[in-house]
Chain A
Amino acid sequence: MVQFLLNNEMVKLQAFAPSLSILDWLRTNMGKVGSKEGCASGDCGACTVVVGDLINGEWHYKSINACLMLVGNLHGKHLLTVEALTTKMNPAVEDLHPVQRAMVECHGSQCGFCTPGFIMSLFALYMNFETYPGKEKVIQALGGNLCRCTGYQPILKAAEKCFSYQNQAAQNIAHKDHRFSKQVQALTISLEKDLALNKIPMIENTTSEREGQYFYLPQNLSQLCELKASHPKAQFVAGATDLSVEFSQRLSYNNQLISVRYCPELMQFNEDEQGLHIGAALPYSEFLDRFSEIYPESHELFERLGSLQIRNAGSLGGSIANASPIGDPAPLFIALNASLELQSIRGNRIMPLQDFFLDYRKTQLAQDEVIVAIHIPTRNPEFNLSCHKISKRIEDDISAVCLVLSYQLDGDKMQDVRCAMGGMAATPALAKNVAQALEGKTFSLENLQNAALQIQVDFQPLSDVRASSAYRLQVSRNLFDRIWYQGSGKIQLQQDSDLAIHSISAIHTRINHASL
């Protein structure tokens, strides 16, 4: 059984298909059709709902794609759908929730099909900020919601206006101070109690009546490893941002699932003298703030990794285990010389990430193993990092090329150079010849350009829907010019202000917030 809150009611599900998405459950089983299916692949946002995590008795809300997240992973959560925001039957504009009211008053809906998704993304934004957080945050919050009618201008206005209703101030506080109603508060207490009682039975959850179907929710790493050992066909699931696409697009349903989201060892984020340790199942959005403080140069990559809904659901472990040839995080962590901690009932092993990928979607992960965490060595002051992503669209697009370069600056010499790329081969991989060409050299345009000539030695990229082979080679070569302009821009800001300013253009403020 899984148990959670849906709007202001308690839900206890005894049996359900493990591959059932929240969206299909809402629309087909619950008759809640406010959330729409636009693509069933997490790319349009029409199905966006808000999910609350209960942390120390407090609900923390975030937007996710209902078409991707699986119902089994709702255990212990609060699911909020568009139906929850206004309870009146035929509301006047003034009766609406501020985000709904602002969308109406700003003419933010035309055909209206994307609208419930926008409302829920706006609602999550509204719950997480006291005042209008500025356009950049709005674009981050809504980058995963597509609208084909409005051109977004009225939605941008609504995102600002919803924070401005004076007479609703009291109501807003009530909303933000949770949790909508006394009813929800009471339900929360009862949910907490039930969860405490159910802690042990949870791992025995066989969710479906049908034979051979299960959705396990192990509570710790040893349970998880034992389950995997005894269920070799089982697939791990965290945010299901890739897995659900297999279901909805390829129609290859795996109904033998083990959730990694309830296993504390996989949900940690630690810093110590060895460096950073990121739990494999921890959603991106849970560690990005701190990570970006340490590695501000990676901000662009993460900001452009999927949409906020994806970052709220997806995890490093999921991305790495799936071994996408592009997988934006992988080149970064290879360049950071990260290693993976793998666990099975046979024991624990540590492996450099760069050795993990074998071939197209093939890895070193044994059938009974799980990725527990990603370890990143401590950053020292001489460490330099440069991250670049080229794609057709800035928001929510997969890289044609992803390039990450790291090195230690010893005086003016580059040492320990690592260059990792995605989109250039069957797996994310090191550009070894490029790195070798830079090792021990000074940071100069000439040296960078010479090293860039080695890209074609390291890689023979394919032509596909995202880019041609020729473009991939040319643009990755040219990115070494950009690395120099950015690096030197920082150094020579005083001497050559024209150059520095001109590379800080609107494009780069859009595609590279952090490094400039």
Chain B
Amino acid sequence: MRHFKTDKPSGSTKNAIGSSFIHESAVKQVIGKAAYIDDRPEEVNSLHAYPVLSTISSGKILSIDTSDALQIEGVVAIYGTQDIPGKNDIGPVFSGDILLTDDVIEYHSQPILLVVATSYQTARIAARKVAIEYQETAAVIDIKEAIANKSWVRPPHALHRGDAQQAIKDATHQVSGELYVGGQEHFYLEGQVSIATPTEDGGMFIQSSSQHPSEVQHLVAKVLNQPFNYITVEMRRMGGAFGGKETQAAPWACLAALAAYYTGRSVKIRLARSDDFKSTGKRHPFYNTYQVGFDDNGLITGVDIDINGYCGYSPDLSDAIVDRALFHADNAYYYPNAHINGNRCKTNTVSNTAFRGFGGPQGMIMAEQLVDDIAYYLGKDPLEIRKLNLYAPGRDLTPYKQKVEQFILQDMIAQMEQESDYWARKAAIESFNKTSPIIKKGLSLTPVKFGISFTVQHLNQAGALVVIYSDGTVHVNHGGTEMGQGLNTKIAQIVAQTLSIDMQYILVNATRTDKVPNTSPTAASSGTDLNGMAALNAANTIKERLFEFAATHFDVKPDSLALVDNQLTHEKGQISFAELINLAYLNRISLSSTGFYATPEIYYDREKAEGHPFFYYAYGIALSEVEIDVLTGENTVTRVDILHDVGNSINPALDVGQIEGAFIQGMGWLTTEDLSWNDNGVLASNAPATYKIPAIGDTPAEFNVTLYDSKNPATTVFKSKAVGEPPFMLGISVWSALRNAVASITDYQFAPSLNTPATAECVLGAVQVAKDWLQDQKSEKQGTDKKGTGDA
């Protein structure tokens, strides 16, 4: 029985959890009143700053001439490295990320100076008037050059179990392959923006569109050489983030703070879109290779995978990102023997960063390529190979030795096979392809098993502050940030459920470092898991105080007390929640509490490359049907069915919204979103005119999303599961289906490798490879036949 309804919010406070409340900002957003940072009224006398960006990718600065820029009317000052009072290195984990450079240039559009002016336009114009002479050196753009030179931003790390090479050698069959996986620009609709305003204490008040206000606080403090308590960061909402504002928001906040520090005035920095494209990190492109050994049935016996991430010039978060790629190179499949190595390659490009999935997708796609290749090699259906190799009881140990304990993919796939008519559609497509010369259809079902938790253990903590005012209304702050995902709405639902009061009495708004300190980024899909649990703990603390007070005050048995529908009930009667609160206030009961949460059970031993890095896994499956045109490579997704596991959904409408949005974003990553750099390391696709994210017509004509009915066996908030990232990887089904369509040309005996993004050009290239393969087969056969004749 399904308990998910996405249509209407429930009227009863008992059902705050599981109801589809609208996003807390929805009304404000549609009337244009939801304010983003650039919408805030500017202080009188406030200034605008803009960075001077390098025009080469690799080399040294020889000279800088700011005289022309300084002559422009409205230019107030130009700052450089020598003006930074504290540290110039703002690496979030490891050092190496430089705020401003005055010497070595390591990527195109690297910030060199900061121009401060009275208007945005003046600052931008002046920034381009700074004359800089460079000594240019050859830029490393090709990852194979970095691999050959063993040029890493962090040392390699590998997972290993058994003797993978021996197992592959001993297997009945072997297949190997390679894949270039493209990167991805976040294209948050609101670009990077920050305002710094000096405070009377000599500190700084920062408004930053950031997923990680605490880190912005810490880095501003380090750059200005001030203690953390003098820096306050506020973040009400972001206009999209997707990982692109986890570390990438900080430099602009630090630069705004630098200008505000010297001018004593409020300073805003907002990057123009193409500069945002060029000078902020993206999803890592990868170059991966694999070898696999398997038996006649397609059962995998050994796997050797080499994963290489294009990290750009600095570590940023690349260590954890490539780790996550390693942790997901198995996806949902059991590898009895495995060697999975990950390299963090240094290139002269902007430092690549977090993006929804955090390396997971670039690892996972290898598992899906490998099972598809096994299927085409053996002439079997790819879904059969997938089902055969799924983790199952007794076949449950990951390459990093965490035991898989939940096995729901089998049931999910069975449900999808039946409800989406997999086998009949597959037969229909195969017969269509036989008679259709130009249009070929493809179909693929791919699963997702995604590990939930930060792989950096200490980040798995959160705090919240619940405040009840004497009229019974509630204000909640927590360490998470709202970027559209509905975190504030879910937190409000959690508090509403805990206190049994209506949602209208609860306000969750801006995240502030002076309300909840030492927070983790809202990332790794963990927003609700961590902050929801912290808010729940805070609300429960107050609830316990209220019960203790009420038991004494009304002289009733504690176990007769209950909060129900905006009331406290007990054995002698009832009292409204608002009255209870007022009474508690008059009796001097504390009505505010912090709450804290730390995820249990998780650890990872890097030396041994084993541990339990994930609290649990989230699961999903997608079945995608596509069409390609073999003349042009143009392609379209005609139908998608998704069954996804969010555990016990806190808000089905918001969860479905995450799944749909993530799927389309994943589809875009693998099809139209084509980052292209020229040989000098300049990003050529640096604006929405040349970088194409999915548009409304790209939404599949038929798009069915269903929540799988199950509770999270792990002790998460109301038994829910994280939803932000896992469905992104359901987009891999589109890529796999495109390969399936191309494979129809060879009658499914061979599927050419399909690098991503699979643009029309890329698909046409694969079609050509398939046709050539077929031609070779024919001439080989003819050759053999002729020889046969000759011999006879």
A-B interface contact total, Cβ < 8 Å: 273
Q: Given A393-B672, A475-B633, A478-B631: A149 and B274 within 8 A (CB)?
A: no
Q: How far is the CB of A352 from chain B (nearest CB, A)?
A: 30
Contact status A499-B672, CB under 8 Å = no
In the bound complex, residues from chain B placing their C-beta under 8 Å from that of A148 are 186-189, 240, 242, 661, 665, 693
Task: Name the one of A36, A91, A464 contacting B31, with C-beta atoms under 8 angstroms.
Answer: A91
Of the candidate stretches B339-347, B536-544, B696-704, the one touching chain A is B696-704
Instruction: Indicate the member of A109, A152, A393, A398 with the most B CB atoms within 10 Å.
Output: A393
Contact status A116-B484, CB under 8 Å = no
In the bound complex, residues from chain B placing their C-beta under 8 Å from that of A151 are 660-665, 694, 699, 703
A86 CB-CB contact with B under 8 Å: yes
Interface string of B30-57 (1 = CB under 8 A from A): 1111111011010000000000000000
Interface size class of B (residues with CB under 8 A): 35 or more
**How many angstroms from the CA of A283 to the CA of B31 in the assembled complex?**
29
In the bound complex, residues from chain B placing their C-beta under 8 Å from that of A111 are 188-190, 237-241, 483-484
A479 CB-CB contact with B under 8 Å: yes
Q: Give the contacts of A353-394 with B (CB-CB under 8 A).
A: 390, 392-394
Contact status B485-A507, CB under 8 Å = no
Contact status A249-B687, CB under 8 Å = yes
Contact status B240-A113, CB under 8 Å = yes
B770 CB-CB contact with A under 8 Å: no
Contact status A83-B699, CB under 8 Å = no
**How many angstroms from the CA of A153 to the CA of B34 in the assembled complex?**
22
Q: Given A96-B30, A507-B636: A154 and B189 within 8 A (CB)?
A: no
Q: Given A390-B634, A506-B638: A110 and B688 within 8 A (CB)?
A: no
Q: Give the contacts of A25-41 with B (CB-CB under 8 A).
A: 27, 31, 33-41
**How many angstroms from the CA of A192 to the CA of B255 in the assembled complex?**
50
In the bound complex, residues from chain B placing their C-beta under 8 Å from that of A508 are 439, 629
Contact status B239-A150, CB under 8 Å = no
Q: How far is the CB of B466 from chain A (nearest CB, A)?
A: 24
Interface size on A, residues (CB 8 A): 89
Contact status B687-A39, CB under 8 Å = yes
**How many angstroms from the CA of A92 to the CA of B190 in the assembled complex?**
26
B165 CB-CB contact with A under 8 Å: no
Contact status B696-A156, CB under 8 Å = yes
**How many angstroms from the CA of A44 to the CA of B761 in the assembled complex?**
24
Contact status A506-B699, CB under 8 Å = no
B635 CB-CB contact with A under 8 Å: yes
Contact status A251-B125, CB under 8 Å = yes
Q: How far is the CB of B701 from chain A (nearest CB, A)?
A: 7
Instruction: Indicate the member of B186, B632, B759 with the most A CB atoms within 10 Å.
Output: B632
Q: Given A34-B31, A115-B29, A478-B631: A41 and B687 within 8 A (CB)?
A: yes
Interface string of B621-638 (1 = CB under 8 A from A): 000000111011111101
Contact status A35-B32, CB under 8 Å = yes
A63 CB-CB contact with B under 8 Å: no
In the bound complex, residues from chain A placing their C-beta under 8 Å from that of B359 are none
Of the candidate stretches B18-26, B284-292, B514-522, B608-616, the one touching chain A is B18-26
Q: Given A40-B273, A146-B189, A466-B690: A154 and B660 within 8 A (CB)?
A: yes
Contact status A110-B486, CB under 8 Å = yes
Task: Name the one of B23, B439, B759 contacting A107, with C-beta atoms under 8 angstroms.
Answer: B23
Q: Given A112-B484, A392-B760: A153 and B636 within 8 A (CB)?
A: no
Contact status B695-A505, CB under 8 Å = no
Instruction: Indicate the member of B20, B38, B39 with the most A CB atoms within 10 Å.
Output: B39
A288 CB-CB contact with B under 8 Å: no
Of the candidate stretches B171-179, B381-389, B430-438, B492-500, the one touching chain A is B430-438
Task: Name B631's closest neighbour in chain A (CB-CB).
Answer: A478
A257 CB-CB contact with B under 8 Å: no
In the bound complex, residues from chain A placing their C-beta under 8 Å from that of B148 are none
A227 CB-CB contact with B under 8 Å: no
Task: Name A86's closest neighbour in chain B (CB-CB).
Answer: B31
In the bound complex, residues from chain A placing their C-beta under 8 Å from that of B685 are 465
Q: Give the contacts of A1-51 with B (CB-CB under 8 A).
A: 27, 31, 33-41, 43-44, 46
**How many angstroms from the CA of A355 to the CA of B93 in the assembled complex?**
61
Task: Name the one of A110, A142, A481 contacting B485, with C-beta atoms under 8 angstroms.
Answer: A110
B128 CB-CB contact with A under 8 Å: yes
Q: Given A81-B32, A395-B698: A107 and B26 within 8 A (CB)?
A: yes
In the bound complex, residues from chain A placing their C-beta under 8 Å from that of B634 are 390, 507, 511
In the bound complex, residues from chain A placing their C-beta under 8 Å from that of B27 are 91-93, 96, 100, 104
A341 CB-CB contact with B under 8 Å: no
Q: Given A113-B239, A149-B484, A394-B698: A39 and B273 within 8 A (CB)?
A: yes
Contact status A112-B25, CB under 8 Å = yes
Task: Name B438's closest neighbour in chain A (CB-CB).
Answer: A503
B427 CB-CB contact with A under 8 Å: no
Contact status B22-A105, CB under 8 Å = yes
Q: Given A149-B484, A392-B759: A110 and B661 within 8 A (CB)?
A: yes
Contact status B435-A498, CB under 8 Å = yes
Q: How far is the CB of A318 from chain B (nearest CB, A)?
A: 16
Contact status B636-A510, CB under 8 Å = yes
In the bound complex, residues from chain B placing their C-beta under 8 Å from that of A112 are 23, 25-26, 28-29, 34, 237, 239, 484
In the bound complex, residues from chain A placing their C-beta under 8 Å from that of B350 are none
Shortest beta-carbon contacts, A-B, top 8: A34-B32, A111-B484, A113-B239, A112-B29, A151-B664, A110-B484, A43-B688, A82-B32
Q: List 24 A-B contacts (CB under 8 A).
A: A34-B33, A40-B272, A44-B189, A86-B31, A96-B27, A110-B484, A111-B190, A112-B484, A119-B30, A119-B32, A139-B696, A146-B187, A147-B189, A151-B665, A152-B664, A152-B696, A156-B699, A395-B698, A475-B632, A475-B760, A505-B436, A505-B438, A506-B627, A510-B636
Residues on B facing A (Cβ under 8 Å):
20, 22-23, 25-36, 38-39, 41, 121, 124-125, 128, 186-191, 237-242, 272-274, 432, 435-439, 483-486, 627-629, 631-636, 638, 653-654, 656-657, 660-665, 672, 674, 676, 684-685, 687-690, 692-699, 701, 703, 705, 759-761, 764-765
**New contact pairs (19) apart from A110-B240, A112-B28, A475-B633, CB-CB < 8 Å:** A38-B189, A43-B689, A96-B30, A104-B26, A109-B23, A109-B29, A110-B486, A111-B240, A112-B23, A112-B25, A112-B237, A116-B30, A151-B699, A152-B694, A152-B695, A393-B672, A395-B695, A481-B631, A485-B438
